Amino acid sequence: MSYELKIALRFLKSGKTQTLFILLGIAVGVAVQIFLGSLITSLQESLVDRTIGNSSQITIEAEDDAISRILTERGSDTTLLRGNFSTFEKSLNNWTLIVDQLQGDARITAISPVIQGTALIRSAGKNQSIQVKGIQLENADKIYEITKRLTVGDPVIEGNNILIGTKLSENLGIGAGSVVSLLTPKGETVRFIVGGVFDLENESVNESLVFMNLKRAQKLFQLGSGITAIEIQISDPFEADVAADDWKSMLGEVNIDQWKEQNQQLLSALASQSSSSYTIQFFVILAVTLGISSVLAVSVVQKSKEIGILKAMGSTKTSASRIFLLQGLILGILGSMVGSVLGILLLSVYQLFNQGNGSLVINYKWSSILIIGMIATAAATFASLIPARRSANLNPMEAIKNG
């Protein structure tokens, strides 16, 4: 152990009250940062999960036909143009090739081909407009978790079996085993059996969405072997725009929509939350830094006689400075360790008193705690620079005489 370290520890021990207050200040600052950072991060993750956790993050569809593009570009003055052409139904006929191309992308966690269309459901004299989604249950389950969210019945959509939402089941007074009729936009009426009832924890979805087998939906909407879209989830939802751009250049003539384009207000709110959190954390660490610097500056005055004696005995300016830098480093490390424990304890207590259905689950990341601790340690060391420089510039004779 170097003599600078021994003296630094001796100075800290001799001023126990000052040392305790500095450690407490660092610990509280670190705890507040850990608590606030974890709270904001968990809140953001919860908001994002509720928004896109069980829905498509990236959707690939066929491009608009030429007539639709002209109408969209030119506006209402060309509405008569469509009358000379039949309405174009967008479908992806080469979807299997697209799926094969995307399968090798490590970012993808779920990929589900779907057919989506509108229909009218009828039962016991009651009618309601619905959205029909034809799926491959195994693939769609990775996005919607349909199997886990069934409240009644079995997760089977083979043949003429369908799955309906809880709100739709309530509105029509039907359940598992009920027989219903679906009227398509082309006037065809087909009878289906309700195989199960799901709850996707969204009232509008539970009221309007019906799942059926992909091949059965192809036949119902007369799409042949085509589909209307490919729904995708990726490991990092915030990289959806990057992935969409990559696939656009690779796949060519398709429309690729991603959730960030459709949720600009949410993203703005998340950015504002992050900015507020970073601002608060900055001022917390600034307050801790100024406090440490002030206390160590007082310590230089109190220890000026000892520093003067050391310099008179041959200690260099560098050694004198190092004593206070080591004090800042030691205080930073110890304060960060205590603050980390205190921060985790605060999170546990908060979680304990906010248990219940729908309560926010707060998760902390060790990597974030480590970064906060490192920043606090660096700030404590930086705070000791001014006192260290002041001790290095002390005149040994004056220090001994006036100390």
Rounded CA separation 72/51 (Å) = 29
Comparing 142-156, 224-238, 286-300, 368-382, the range with the smallest average pLDDT is 286-300
What is the token pair recorded at 30? 């670190």
Residue 347 lies in a domain: yes
Q: How many CB atoms lie within 10 A of CB 16?
A: 9
Q: What pLDDT digit, counting tens, does each position of 31-88 carry?
A: 988 888 888 888 877 777 777 767 888 999 987 644 444 444 554 444 444 444 434 4
Contact call for residues 218 and 226 (beta carbons, < 8 A): yes
CA separation for the pair 25, 21 (Å, rounded) = 6
pLDDT above 60 for 227: yes
Residues in Cβ contact with 322 at an 8 Å cutoff, skipping those fewer than 6 apart: 4, 388
The band of 229, judged by pLDDT with boundaries at 50, 70 and 90, is: very high
In a domain, residue 33? The reply is: yes
Residues 331 and 380: beta-carbon distance below 8 Å: yes
Looking at the structure, do residues 375 and 226 belong to the same domain, yes or no?
Answer: no
Which range of residues forms the domain containing residue 186? Answer: 94-252
Look at residue 394 in the predicted model and tell me its pLDDT. 56
Check whether residue 107 and residue 248 sit in a common domain: yes
Return the bridge partners of 19, or none: none
Pairing between β-strand 189-198 and β-strand 179-183 as defined by DSSP bridges = antiparallel
152-156, 193-197, 348-352: range with highest mean pLDDT:
193-197
Q: Which of 228, 252, 276 is a domain's end point?
A: 252
For 95, phi and psi rounded to 5 degrees? Answer: -65, -30
Structurally, the chain folds into a number of domains equal to 2
pLDDT, residue 342, reads 92
Cα torsion 252, 254, 257, 258 to 10°: value is: -40
Per-residue pLDDT tens over the stretch 253-263: 788 998 888 77
pLDDT band at 90 (very low <50, low <70, confident <90, very high): low
Domain assignment of residue 73, yes or no: no
Nearest to 37 by CA among 378, 265, 367, 383: 367
Q: Are 244 and 272 members of one domain?
A: no
Residue-level pLDDT at 395? 56
Same domain, 218 and 312: no
Domain endpoint, select from 252, 285, 319: 252
**269-307 pLDDT, tens per residue?**
778 878 888 888 888 888 878 887 777 776 665 556 566
**Inside any domain, residue 76:** no
Q: Is residue 199 part of a domain?
A: yes
- Give residue 119's pLDDT band: very low, low, confident or very high (50, 70, 90): very high
Do 98 and 26 share a domain, yes or no? no
Confidence (pTM): 0.67
pLDDT of residue 312: 62
Res 169 pLDDT > 90: yes
How many Cα atoms within 13 Å fall on the side-chain side of residue 55?
Answer: 15
Is the domain of 175 the same as that of 301? no
54, part of any domain: no
Cα atoms in the 13 Å half-sphere on the side-chain side of 237: 20
Counting residues of the chain whose pLDDT is more than 90, the rounded percentage is 30
Please indicate, yes or no, whether residues 271 and 248 belong to a single structural domain of this protein. Answer: no
- For residue 120, being part of any structural domain is answered with yes
Q: Do 231 and 116 meet the contact criterion of CB atoms below 8 Å apart?
A: no
Same domain, 140 and 164: yes
* Cβ atoms of residues 234 and 259 within 8 Å: no
pLDDT in tens, 361-376: 778 888 888 998 898 8
Whether residue 376 lies inside any domain: the answer is yes
Q: Is the pLDDT of residue 355 over 80?
A: no
pLDDT of residue 77: 46
Kindly tell me if the per-residue pLDDT of 159 is higher than 60. Answer: yes
Mean pLDDT of the chain: 81
- Average pLDDT (99-118) is 91
Q: Rounded to an integer, what distance in angstroms lies between the CA atom of residue 258 and that of residue 138?
A: 22
Distance, in Å, from the CA atom of 185 to the CA atom of 221, rounded to the nearest integer, reads 9
Question: Of 252, 276, 306, which closes a domain?
Answer: 252
| Phi, psi torsion values for 91, nearest 5 degrees | -150, 150
Q: Is pLDDT at 246 greater than 70 in this prediction?
A: yes
Confidence of residue 233 (pLDDT cuts 50, 70, 90): very high
Q: Are residues 332 and 239 in the same domain?
A: no
Q: Do 322 and 370 reside in the same domain of the chain? A: yes
Query: Each residue of 370-400: b (16+ CB within 10 Å) or e?
Result: eebbebbbbbbbebbeebbebbbebebeebb
**What kind and span of H or E run contains 41?**
helix 16-52
235 and 305: one domain? Answer: no
Please name the amino acid found at residue 208: S
Give yes or no: residues 248 and 297 share one domain: no
